[in-house]
Chains A and B, each alone.
Chain A
């Protein structure tokens, strides 16, 4: 059974009297442990789809099931609780809290879980070790490079040990070396920790890392099983 099952998904936004159909009649499966890249032109609905898969928004119609949970039926607070346990987020602009140290940023999502202080510390240290920033625990985002910030972002995404990691253009703001490092990390998360990774990207280089590429065009699936040289 696939980890993520999307069935007959529609999503539209209303702005005033105008209704914009963003996603139409979308059906998609993602296996557990898969690294999936979402590609497509700007405005094709990639971010919208990712938001729905990550439980940040609810569809207009259709269903999304993740690990047997019908998250498309969840209320806002149910989604919030579900996200904390099941989804790790990596953003294009890292979105770290500037007032918190790297350590505190990574610890933030753990504050929502029933863990002891010692357990939290251990998990933060593990995550920071995994991204290779054990020596930067007390630095603030302003004191770190873009690549380092993104690695802190990845540490924050992994620290709760989620099943899915979603990343919206994670390399969009990075130079190629930093981008490579970040992608390598995501790959390790998949291969060694068995995480399912959903990544939106414009960058063919980044997409190369994925096992499968899904192409969106004007809110519909264009190609499902595209693989670049891998």
Chain B
């Protein structure tokens, strides 16, 4: 077994949180969110009533405008009167709608975010092909070309976007500096790669831009560029260099282990950053040099040589990976030895699957449930209001108002509360974190309020909120409005008198 194989193979970015923890965490956030939203809903009550008053005042101005505007404004004025009639009930309804819309828009933002993340993860599926039964995995060089051939036959949308960047052949090479003294100090274990693939590989193996300082990264890039200049050039980790007693710039002669009579003349052109310990004992060489030396060593002619340990491919999405895996996993595609294809990180895959079912539950169960609750809240309030005003509505009908006019007043009342609740709530969720950030930037103050800076809602919710309010108002008031239509004027008075 090659040392370091495990380390490199395992794309060890398994998630920190289990699904259970995530669910608990989410419930906690929910409870907190509800409290915060209720707090803000109550705080925003003056804004709500202020707006209602302002609208009413505006409508009053319109009273003197020539008809039909003036007349309609007077009839519509009744809506505001009824809202003001029972301030407590109106407030409670508004607060409920505010909180529910706030929950809905926060969940929507979260779902939107998770959707994007899973999409991203699914958009770039790293897959690796290895030998099915052998450990360590050893495959003939011809497998690389055969796999490339298979990839070319996939439908265009399932092919890797850029085959040079998205396709890597990995060979692990063991060597010693002294054939007669195979000690730890003399050992050199290398990964052979095409120079163009190095950057891609490193970005997935703990040596991306984010893993180190800017200077270290620049230096690493220089080393990679240097490697491209000559096939003998290698990069060796700092700890290994020290064990070998060598430094960057030195030349080194090494003898391959496992391949008789294969020797290498390396030139050390760079090292890995000391701050990333994962690579401090490893080394990189060029695949073409490795292959050339194999070809040069005639010893193996006729014998089956299997120097390829794994082939790495980045597929555009999960469906493409699945299409590829089906072909590769057929025994006839790769028969001697058989090969298997898997995603580089099964852990991430299953975590995302779990996350997806949570998102599904939120999207298709919890969000609709909240919307239904909102409709019920409006429905109950308006039903009570209609009950209370049955005889008033009857009077209006007696005076000659048509059923749809009476109904319109009721629906308008519900829609008005709905729109205001939806608008103020989503605007708060959208604008409050932004204005806090703006305030911080403007004053230069540094502070943190709960998890506010983490909320980044899509701008669309500022439109969806009021729309949802309208919708909820319409649905919620539908039943009571219809029942108001059925108020028979004669019945009401037959009972009263």
Contacts and interface: CB of A to CB of B under 8 A. Distances in A.
Which of A81, A109, A156 has the most C-beta atoms of chain B within 10 angstroms of its own C-beta?
Answer: A109
A174 interface: no
Nearest to A172: B497
Q: Is the interface of B mostly helix, strand, loop or mixed?
A: helix
Given A117-B64, A168-B493, A169-B497, A95 B401 contact: no
B437 to A, nearest CB: 44
Contacts of A77: 402
Given A51-B493, A93-B496, A97-B392, A111 B398 contact: no
Given A92-B497, A168-B497, A51 B399 contact: no
Interface stretch (B79-87, B100-108, B168-176): B79-87
A91 B74 contact: no
A83 B493 contact: no
B399 A84 contact: yes
A68 B394 CA distance: 27
A116 B64 CA distance: 10
Interface in B456-497: 488-490, 493-494, 496-497
B75 interface: yes
Contacts of A107: 74
B400 A112 contact: yes
B234 to A, nearest CB: 88
Contacts of A84: 399-400
Interface size class of B (residues with CB under 8 A): 20 to 34
Interface in A91-142: 91-93, 95, 97-100, 104, 107-109, 111-112, 114-117
Contact of B397 (A80, A91, A99, A114): A80
A107 B493 CA distance: 22
Interface string A39-57: 0000000011001000011
A89 interface: yes
Contact of A91 (B400, B488, B493, B494): B493
A47 B494 contact: yes
Contacts of A116: 66-67
Which of B70, B84, B395, B399 has the most C-beta atoms of chain A within 10 angstroms of its own C-beta?
Answer: B399
Contacts of B398: 56, 83, 89
A140 to B, nearest CB: 10
B78 interface: yes
Interface in B391-414: 391-392, 394-403
A100 B74 CA distance: 11
Contact of A99 (B74, B82, B401, B488): B82
Interface of A: 47-48, 51, 56-57, 76-77, 80-81, 83-84, 89, 91-93, 95, 97-100, 104, 107-109, 111-112, 114-117, 156, 168-169, 172, 200
25 contacts: A51-B493, A56-B489, A80-B401, A83-B398, A83-B399, A91-B493, A91-B496, A92-B496, A95-B391, A95-B394, A97-B78, A97-B392, A97-B395, A104-B74, A107-B74, A108-B399, A111-B71, A112-B399, A114-B67, A116-B66, A117-B63, A117-B66, A117-B70, A168-B493, A168-B497
